[in-house]
Amino acid sequence: MATQGSMNKLATFQRDTGAVGVGGSKTRHWTDIQGLVRVPVEYKPQRGRERVQAGRLEASTVAFITIQDCAAVRGVTPADIVVIHEQWGDVPHRIYSLENPDQRSRDVEIVAEKGVSLG
């Protein structure tokens, strides 16, 4: 269970509200999800050494994000993204999975990746 003291980053969750054009082109427009703007999260990037040992030399980074459960979080899907607010700028992450590890609806664990296409 994540505690308030372990929440080391702020994050904003966003949903694609873009449109599909006449010729089939898709326009992406990421809009903040109400109730999930600049919320505290616990952010743990995967260690680089483990990725090198697995033969995955790439610029993308997998991160494990823990957020306290609430009604707004239950509406988040892998089609959404999470933006981690860093001192040097905002870093968007693609969400791969969300799960409730203890089945008590205290925390939601999210697996996300930065440095990849968002959709």
pTM confidence score: 0.82
Partners of residue 83 on adjacent β-strands: 12, 92
pLDDT, tens only, 12-41: 999 999 888 778 778 889 999 999 999 999
Q: What is the dihedral of CA 48, 86, 15, 32, to 10 degrees?
A: 170
Q: Is 10 exposed, middle or buried (0-12, 13-18, 19+ CB in 10 A)?
A: middle
- Kindly state whether residue 119 falls inside one of the protein's structural domains: no
Q: What CATH number did the domain enclosing 65 receive?
A: 2.40.10.270
Distance of alpha carbon 112 from its chain centroid, rounded?
A: 5
- Kindly state whether residue 79 falls inside one of the protein's structural domains: yes
Partners of residue 19 on adjacent β-strands: 27
pLDDT, tens only, 40-87: 999 998 865 555 555 555 567 889 999 999 999 999 999 999 999 999
Task: Report the distance separating Cα 64 and Cα 48, nearest Å.
Answer: 14
For the chain, the domain total comes to 1
Range of the domain at 76: 4-114
- Kindly state whether residue 58 falls inside one of the protein's structural domains: yes
